[in-house]
Structure formats: C-alpha cells, structure tokens
Chain A
Amino acid sequence: MQQTEQKEQQHEILPNEMFEIVGRKEEESEKINKPILSNWQDGWLRLKQNKAAVISLVVILLIVVLSFIGPYFSEYSYEQTNYEKVYSEPSGEHWLGTDKFGRDQWTRLWEGTRVSLYIAVLAALLDILIGITYGAISAWKGGKVDNIMQRIIEILVGIPNLIIIILLIMIMRPGIMTIMLAMVITGWVNMARLVRGQVFKLKTQEYVLASRALGASTSRIILGHMLPNTLGIIIINLMFTIPSAIFTEAFLSFIGLGLQEPLASLGVLINDGFQSMRNQFYLLAYPAIVIVALMVCFNMLADGLRDAFDPRMRK
C-alpha cells in the first residue's frame, strides 16, 4: 500500500526533463576513485590497524636507539672497572648500579643489547643471503639438482646445533664472529626451504609465464618477479629469526660458550646477574627485561606483518 502511495507522489513531483535520455557515462564506470596504493602501502595500512604490532615496533625502535646512544649518557665505558664501588645500588652516579667489578650497569646494558642485536641481525641477514640463493637455485633448477640440494639440507638439519657450536668453539676463539658463524651454519636452512617453496609456487604463476613468453632472461624473472613477490615472506621470517637468534646468543653466553668478559652481551649480563641474584637482583632484572621485551615485540611485530602482508593469512 505504502509503496503505491509513494509512487503516486513521485509521479507528481518528477519533472519531465528528468526523463530525457542522457546516455551512459562510460568513463565514470572505468574510473578508480581510490588513491593509488602499492602493495606495501596497502600492507602498512593493515599493519597500522594492529595495535600490538605498532606498540611492538615502537618498543623495538626505542631499544635500538637506546642501545646506540645509551652508553653516551654516562661518563663510564663498558669495561671501565672501579673496585671502590663494587655492587653499588642504583643512584644518580650509576643509574642502574654497578656490577662485581664496579662497572657501570647502564653502559653495559646498552652495550650488551647492541652487541646482541648486532649478532642477531647480522646472523639473520646472512641466513637470508644464503637461504635465498640456495632456495631459489634449488627451486628454479628443479628435478635432480633440487633433489640433491634438499637432501643436503636434511643432513644439516639432522645434526644437533649444539654439537656444531661446541666443535666450532673448540677450533676458533669464542667471540662475535664464532658465535655468528655457529648460528648461520644451521640457521639458513629454514629460509632456504621457505624461499624454495615460494619460488616453486611462483614458477607456474601466469605472470611469470607471461614474462618468459616475452623473452625475459632467468635473472630478470628471478630478480624482477620472484624476489619482490617473496620479499614479504622473507621479511616476516626475518622478524621471526631475529628474536630466536637473540635468544640463542644469550643461551650460549649464559652457558659459557658465547662471548667472554669484559665484552658485554645480554647473555653475559644475565649470567653475571644470575651469580649475584640473591643480593643484587636488579643486575639480573635489567637485561632480563630487555631480552623479554625484544623477544615479545619482535614476535608480535612479525605476527602483525604476516597478517598484513601474507595474503594466505588474510581473513
């Protein structure tokens, strides 16, 4: 009933001019009104909506910045000892107190964080470099080559990490290089597998076929099409690798296989703090807080990145 009434009203109101044919506005329907968005910008928009990831990013940046400029806030260097002020409590002079040799804990904390981050990032980057190359070659060649390369990986995975690390430390002097090498020797395997899977998938994608049909060379296809399309996954994996590398370094230093005094790293500091935990618990607390913050934030950021960039995870 109501509808018919409405219709009648419209009959009266609508003027004749409104019923002239004006035709189509084809251009209009082809127009895209949204602003230009690349995939990266699109991902950034998604990431921004993930509060946990954004907070994590801020915390990570804060820690990184502090690890660089932190030591300059105090007048002490990380190895400067002062036997008159052993185990002093946090004060205006030593913000976070001093350790068993009277070294300034603030300086050592940020120095250690920087060393730990340095090792982790470098190890992760090396992982990526080896992993991408190995994985891409394996997948691109396919067939027998792939078969052999994958068997090699399986053998590497079969050897326990710790054995390789202990052997390495027996041969080389414990230090940043050794510890990094130890981590990279087995660490790149995951990345290689990931990249291999991705390249295998992309190999049969129509846009790669199209590129081949246009006569593109292998290097052009790999660098121009495959890498950019794998990059998202690589970065996500990098974000997961870094915290686990930080943890591995801390673990090794803690059991005495890693860095040695007076060098500082998060693992060394925790080991130190652990020994004086009963009286000066804060010596353990500071590096523990930093390492926990780093691990949690990197993992949450990686999670957020995955949601934002990996289309398989999209809801």
Chain B
Amino acid sequence: MAPLLSIKNLHVTFNTYAGKVYAVRGIDLTVEKGETLAIVGESGSGKSVSSKAIIGLLPKQSASIEQGEVLFEGRDLLSLNKSEMQKIRGSEIAVIFQDPMTALNPTMKVGKQVVEGAMKHQKLSKKEAHHLAIELFEMVGIPNPEVRINQYPHEFSGGMRQRVVIAMALASKPKLLIADEPTTALDVTIQAQILDLLRDIQKKTGTSIIFITHDLGVVANIADSVAVMYAGQIVEKGKVEEVFHNPVHPYNWGLLRSMPNMETKGKLYSIPGSPPDLMNPPTGDAFAPRNEFALSIDYEKAPPTYAVSETHTAATWLLHPKAPNINYTKQSNDDLDEEEISAVNMNDTLLKVSNLKKHFNLPSKQVLKAVDGVSLEIRKGETLGLVGESGCGKSTTGRTLLGLYEPTEGEILYNNTPIKEGNKKDFSQKIQMIFQDPYASLDPRKKVEDIIAEGLDIHGLAENKQERQEKVQRLLKVVGLQPDHAQRFPHEFSGGQRQRIGIARALAVEPELIIADEPISALDVSIQAQVVNLLKELQKDRDLTYLFIAHDLSMVKYISDRIGVMYLGAMVELAEADELYKKPLHPYTQALLSAVPVPDPKIEKTRERIILEGGLPSPVNPPQGCRFRTRCPLATEKCAEIPQWREVEKSHWVACHYV
C-alpha cells in the first residue's frame, strides 16, 4: 500500500540579511494511512519548517525550497499552484497550531469559525453547517454544544480553545492532520485531556497525524512511529518502541537519558554544548562536537542512513561495520549510579512564610487573589520544589518572596528577620532569582559582561575595573561559558547559554537563597539537563538553598528535597519529594502525577490516568471552601467548607477533608 504522504530529500533554506540558513537539510519521511508520526527535535531543528513546507505555509519572501518533493496521495504538493494548494489545505490536510490563544479569531463566534472552511469546500447549507458544528463540538468533548457554538473565543479556557481548534481542523474530514506542538502551551492536566482526545479521534476517523513536539513523554504517549530531528536532518526514525527501547543514534541516547524519571537519582546525564549554527552547517555529522562517541570520520563526512530493521533507520557512522560497538543500556545505568546525593542538614530554617497573600486589584474593581494564604518554610541547604498549573500563583509567590511584589498580607521571615518595605535592599543580595524566559531576562542592549556585573555594580562588590572583570570571568567559567563571551551581546547566544548567563548574574552577588522561576521550561530537553546539573553542582559547591518553581513534575522530583503543590493560590500538599510521589494524598496531586507523560511507550500505552474534568476556575472568583472541589472526583458537600492545612504524617502536610 502506498503511503499517504511521503517526503523525499527535502531541503529548505531561509534568506536572512546575515546570510543563508539551512533549516532543513534533506529529510525523507513517510506517513502511512491512519498512523501517528511524531517528529521530535529541539527548537531550530527544522521540525516545524518541514511541516510548514508540506502545506505551503512557509513565508514566501524569505523561505525557499531548494529541492525535494512532497507526495500526497501521489501528487507533488510542491508543484501545485496557490489555489490548488488552498483546496488541499482546507479539505485534505488540516493543521493545529501551538497557541490556541492566537489561532482563533476573537471577533467571530466559534461555531462559525469551525465550519467556515467546511462550508466553503463542501458547499454546505447554513443548516447543515450548524449541525456539523454541533456534531464536531460533541466529538471534541465540549459540553453544551448548542450554547457554546454561539460564544466568542474569550469565553473559552485554553484547553477548551484547543478543542475548538481541533474541531476546526476536523471539520473538513482531513486525511492528514498536522499538529504543531498542540499541547506545549497547555498545562499537564489539560495536555492529558487533549492527547486522549486526539487518540480517540484518530480511532474514530482513521486520519493520519503528524505530531510535532519536543516532549518525549508526549511522543511515547501518542505516536506509532517517530522521527528524531537534529540540525535540519532526521537522525533516527522508526516505530516508537524501536526508537525508545533500541535507540542507535547517540543523540537519541542522550535525549532519552537526559530525561529524569520519577526514580532518577544522582547526576543527570546531559548532552553538553549547544546545537550548531545552521548558517554554516558543519561538515560531517552535525552532532559530532557534542557526541562522546564521535568517530574521527564524523568530523569529515556526513553519515549515510543505515537500516537497523525494516522500519528503523538511523544516520550515524556507529552503524558502519568497522565502527566500535557501544552498548547503550549499560552506559546509561553506570552513569546514573555514579553519585549519591548527600543528605541535607534540614534543621535550620532559612525562610519562613506565614499566611502570605498577594491580591491584585483589577481595573474592573475585582480582586485577583493570586496567592491566598500560603505558609511554608525553606530550610537551609535544601531545594523546595513548588509545582502547579499556570495561574496557581506559584510565580507570584516567588516574586513576592523576592520583594518584587508587596505582600497584601502575611509575614516573610528571613533568618528570623522580617522582610519589609524598608529593609528590602539588604535582602536583595541574599535572595536572588533565575527567570523563566532566557530571551526576555537579559537586556538586549548590554554586553554579557555588564549584565553579569550589574549586581556587583549595585552592591559595590568590585573595587575596580580589573576586579570586576576577573569576577565576571570566574562566573563565566563556573557556568561553563567561554571567556570571550563576555564581550558579546545576548542575541548571539542560544537559549541554554542565555539561561547560564542569567544564572551567573544571580550568582554574582553571592546569594544564599535562589528562587528559580521555571528556569528550564523554556529550554530544550538536552539543555534542560545541563542547567539542572549546573544548579545542583552550584548548590553543593556554594551551599545554596533553592526554591524551584516549575510545572515539569519529573524534573522537580529530581531536583527537590521537598515539594509543595499549589492550586488556585493555595497550597494543597507539601511533603518530602519521595513521599509525595509514592504516596500522594491530595486528589489534585494524584491527578497531576498521573497526567505527566513518561518517555516510555510501554508504560504510556497501558497505564490508566486520572483525567480531570474541565479547566482551572478563575482566581478572581474561586470556588468557596475547597478550591479544588469543582474538578475533584471525591468532592461532596462537606468540601464547601475550607479544609484545614494540617500535618497528616510527619512532615507531610495536606489540605483536604478526605485524607
């Protein structure tokens, strides 16, 4: 049987003012009917560009397809003209974009948006279209479809909007659905809902899906086959079990090993370095400089694609008969046992927060209770993880602790001294922050040297220019950057490098407590491990205490000693990391843990999830009593009372009536 879609030797380049960027460098792919193909890769690996090339959505002025063909049911899509392409895009291939917030037209009723395309291509009457819209809304699991189709996008939550976008894509009964990171902008519990939905839809309609993502857990969950991309090329592809259980490309080894699972201890494996600059793609294997098993031929010649099995291929010289044999699984275990974490002395409290509240007054006279009564202690030398979905107030908590926001109520004690408006500056040297977005957290007009030295300048920590320079150089070395990077500007660095600059800036004033606000969520998998390892190392060397805010539970579990779970501005559970994962007590924690996708297709495809209904209620008007009761599977009338925050077992706190 001929495949639905096959891409042959596709090359895409972008013309920028600085030169030509070779974004996609010869990829071959096939998608069978009814199959889900996942394309995995880091940002800039060319995965989105390839998918856009399929549907002809590359920007005309700058992008050009140098060579190759894209055969869709035997027709070459690249040779079609505009109107033919439009027909295919509307009826046979549909796309789901990453951000549901911008994919819908805010001034149009959603029902109309959903069927607009179908009406045009299938020539439906108004009445038929109306029925189709309701049918589609039912299919994607939007309750009350009759009412909902007449609403506007702003009346939907993020997860619901993504459902609308999916309904829109399904309206024309496409044979191929291209989903470009459809769950990246969503929270884990919502992500679990959407993945479930996509799988369900595929079963019902038999459409093929190209699923683009950077999250291996999601891949294991949804994909039948996988293509791993690196630097514009496919380095390994095959059935999902083959790629996960029998990986042969060293990049894939690195990716799989750098994702911690719930049991990972010791040092995390990381792929060092940064991905290559595709303006001057390296000769030979693009991954060689970061590959610990790089052969000398890797630096000279690009590897051909070898077949491992009928469905499994990889491009690496390691598969050449003359190449040495490297045992992947053994390697990975060795590494993980290497080191044991030293027990932290958990007796001294560094920071104590009691009943912290932060309310924002909205222009509409409403009050947004971002943080509403959080109490916690951070002990000297420990890492306290803080997890929760977006909008739960975890970042606000962090920023309030740092003094960026004035608390509405409550007390913050640092080493038994209360932090107030007047003495804030004394603490700015002791408490520092690492920010989420490495692209927004560095001033684009300043040199790296000046960015790192800002704290030194403010607190007068460097007496003269030479000392300032030396300190900056030392910090650059600590975070693994090169001395000549000091004279460069932020826009020249990759995401991971920038985040390391941000860490160096925070370290410059020699703080005791670092609040890390989602420091890795904007980074690629291979880079995340680098940053987490760096943070761990620094903690050991410098006796740092961390408050680690994140939504990636496996990473939080890996780095934290204790973990607090937040929901809608309040803490629902707090316990030692192992304890929390082994014995989650609060129903929200249980749901959250079960929603995390694990990078192992065997586990993913068999395990039962607790899927939470609906989305997060608005913090402007939270539910009375227990905030979680609107989504809680255990909720009863008693939950209308506020549950007490109590210590159920030794150092295991929870706020729920039913524990």
Interface residues, chain A, CB within 8 Å of chain B? 3, 6-7, 10-11, 14, 16-34, 36-39, 42, 45-46, 49, 205-207, 209-217, 220, 225, 228-229, 315
B428 and A23 within 8 A (CB)? no
B120 within 8 A of A: no
Tell me the minimal C-beta distance from A93 to chain B in angstroms. Answer: 51
In the complex, chain B residues whose CB is within 8 Å of the CB of A215: 424-425, 428-429, 455, 458-459
Tell me the minimal C-beta distance from B100 to chain A in angstroms. Answer: 23
B293 and A23 within 8 A (CB)? yes
B320 and A210 within 8 A (CB)? no
A213 and B404 within 8 A (CB)? yes
A206 and B323 within 8 A (CB)? no
Given contacts A18-B322, A212-B404, 8 further A-B contacts (CB under 8 A): A19-B323, A24-B273, A29-B273, A39-B489, A39-B491, A42-B491, A213-B402, A215-B459
Option from A14, A28, A205, A206 in Cβ contact (under 8 Å) with B436? A206
In the complex, chain A residues whose CB is within 8 Å of the CB of B275: 29
Tell me the minimal C-beta distance from B51 to chain A in angstroms. Answer: 21
A21 and B293 within 8 A (CB)? yes
B492 within 8 A of A: yes
A32 and B485 within 8 A (CB)? yes
A24 and B458 within 8 A (CB)? no
In the complex, chain B residues whose CB is within 8 Å of the CB of A46: 17
Q: How far is the CA of A36 from the CA of B441 in the complex (A)?
A: 20
In the complex, chain A residues whose CB is within 8 Å of the CB of B288: 24-25
Point out which of A27, A37, A213, A228 has the most chain B C-beta atoms below 10 A from its C-beta.
A213
B98 within 8 A of A: no
Option from B324, B429, B482, B491 in Cβ contact (under 8 Å) with A21? B324
Q: How far is the CA of A32 from the CA of B274 in the complex (A)?
A: 10
The 3 closest A-B pairs by CB, nearest first: A29-B273, A215-B428, A206-B441
A24 and B295 within 8 A (CB)? no
Tell me the minimal C-beta distance from A140 to chain B in angstroms. Answer: 15
B294 and A6 within 8 A (CB)? no
Q: How far is the CA of A21 from the CA of B297 in the complex (A)?
A: 9
B18 and A45 within 8 A (CB)? yes
Closest to B424 in A: A215
B17 and A214 within 8 A (CB)? no
B359 within 8 A of A: no
- In the assembled complex, 24 residue pairs joining A and B whose CB atoms fall closer than 8 Å, in A order, are A7-B304, A10-B304, A11-B321, A19-B297, A21-B293, A21-B295, A22-B294, A22-B298, A27-B482, A29-B290, A30-B274, A30-B480, A30-B482, A34-B18, A38-B445, A42-B491, A45-B18, A206-B437, A207-B442, A209-B399, A210-B505, A214-B458, A215-B425, A315-B61
A24 and B290 within 8 A (CB)? yes
Tell me the minimal C-beta distance from A109 to chain B in angstroms. Answer: 39
B62 and A22 within 8 A (CB)? no
Closest to A48 in B: B17
Tell me the minimal C-beta distance from A37 to chain B in angstroms. Answer: 7
A14 and B322 within 8 A (CB)? yes
Tell me the minimal C-beta distance from B435 to chain A in angstroms. Answer: 4
B322 and A45 within 8 A (CB)? no
Given contacts A49-B17, A220-B458, A315-B62, contact A26 B304 (CB under 8 A): no
B435 and A14 within 8 A (CB)? no
Which B460-503 residues sit within 8 Å CB-CB of chain A?
480-482, 485, 487-489, 491-493, 497, 502
A16 and B322 within 8 A (CB)? yes
A207 and B277 within 8 A (CB)? no
Closest to B324 in A: A21
B432 and A24 within 8 A (CB)? no
A22 and B322 within 8 A (CB)? no
A39 and B444 within 8 A (CB)? yes
Closest to A308 in B: B17
Closest to B459 in A: A215
Which B413-433 residues sit within 8 Å CB-CB of chain A?
424-425, 428-429, 431-433
Q: How far is the CA of A82 from the CA of B22 in the complex (A)?
A: 71
A206 and B435 within 8 A (CB)? yes
Q: How far is the CA of A10 from the CA of B297 in the complex (A)?
A: 12
In the complex, chain B residues whose CB is within 8 Å of the CB of A24: 272-273, 288-292, 294
B454 and A20 within 8 A (CB)? no
Given contacts A30-B497, A214-B454, A228-B445, contact A20 B485 (CB under 8 A): no
Q: Interface residues of B toward A: which range?
A: 35 or more
Closest to B492 in A: A32
In the complex, chain B residues whose CB is within 8 Å of the CB of A32: 277, 485, 488, 492-493
A20 and B320 within 8 A (CB)? no
Q: How far is the CA of A22 from the CA of B297 in the complex (A)?
A: 9
Q: How far is the CA of A31 from the CA of B493 in the complex (A)?
A: 10
B97 within 8 A of A: no
Given contacts A23-B293, A229-B444, contact A210 B425 (CB under 8 A): no
In the complex, chain A residues whose CB is within 8 Å of the CB of B487: 36
Tell me the minimal C-beta distance from B17 to chain A in angstroms. Answer: 6
B481 and A30 within 8 A (CB)? yes
Option from B62, B320, B458 in Cβ contact (under 8 Å) with A19? B320
Which B305-357 residues sit within 8 Å CB-CB of chain A?
317, 320-324
Which B523-570 residues sit within 8 Å CB-CB of chain A?
none
Q: How far is the CA of A36 from the CA of B505 in the complex (A)?
A: 21
Tell me the minimal C-beta distance from B346 to chain A in angstroms. Answer: 26
In the complex, chain A residues whose CB is within 8 Å of the CB of B403: 213
Closest to A46 in B: B17
In the complex, chain B residues whose CB is within 8 Å of the CB of A38: 445, 447, 489
Given contacts A24-B288, A24-B290, A31-B482, contact A19 B428 (CB under 8 A): no
Which B156-213 residues sit within 8 Å CB-CB of chain A?
none
Option from B304, B443, B447, B482 in Cβ contact (under 8 Å) with A207? B443
In the complex, chain B residues whose CB is within 8 Å of the CB of A209: 399, 404, 433, 435, 441
B296 within 8 A of A: yes
Point out which of A16, A28, A207, A315 has the most chain B C-beta atoms below 10 A from its C-beta.
A207
Given contacts A19-B317, A315-B59, contact A211 B17 (CB under 8 A): no
Tell me the minimal C-beta distance from A146 to chain B in angstroms. Answer: 12
B276 within 8 A of A: yes
Q: How far is the CA of A161 from the CA of B79 in the complex (A)?
A: 58
In the complex, chain A residues whose CB is within 8 Å of the CB of B485: 32
B107 within 8 A of A: no
B2 within 8 A of A: no
A29 and B274 within 8 A (CB)? yes
Q: How far is the CA of A21 from the CA of B322 in the complex (A)?
A: 12
Given contacts A33-B280, A207-B442, A209-B404, contact A26 B435 (CB under 8 A): no
In the complex, chain B residues whose CB is within 8 Å of the CB of A27: 482
Q: How far is the CA of A217 from the CA of B304 in the complex (A)?
A: 58
Point out which of A38, A46, A49, A214 has the most chain B C-beta atoms below 10 A from its C-beta.
A214
Tell me the minimal C-beta distance from A226 to chain B in angstroms. Answer: 10
B454 and A216 within 8 A (CB)? yes
B626 within 8 A of A: no
B294 and A23 within 8 A (CB)? yes
Tell me the minimal C-beta distance from A250 to chain B in angstroms. Answer: 37
Q: How far is the CA of A25 from the CA of B321 in the complex (A)?
A: 24
B509 within 8 A of A: yes
Tell me the minimal C-beta distance from A168 to chain B in angstroms. Answer: 38
In the complex, chain A residues whose CB is within 8 Å of the CB of B458: 214-217, 220
B147 within 8 A of A: no
Q: How far is the CA of A17 from the CA of B298 in the complex (A)?
A: 12
B440 and A26 within 8 A (CB)? no
Q: How far is the CA of A18 from the CA of B509 in the complex (A)?
A: 48
A210 and B317 within 8 A (CB)? no
Tell me the minimal C-beta distance from A165 to chain B in angstroms. Answer: 37
Tell me the minimal C-beta distance from B447 to chain A in angstroms. Answer: 8
In the complex, chain B residues whose CB is within 8 Å of the CB of A45: 17-18
In the complex, chain B residues whose CB is within 8 Å of the CB of A212: 404
Given contacts A37-B492, A214-B458, contact A29 B59 (CB under 8 A): no
A19 and B295 within 8 A (CB)? yes
Closest to A22 in B: B296
Closest to B437 in A: A206
In the complex, chain B residues whose CB is within 8 Å of the CB of A22: 294-296, 298-299
B294 and A37 within 8 A (CB)? no
A213 and B289 within 8 A (CB)? no
In the complex, chain B residues whose CB is within 8 Å of the CB of A214: 428, 432, 454-455, 458-459, 505, 509
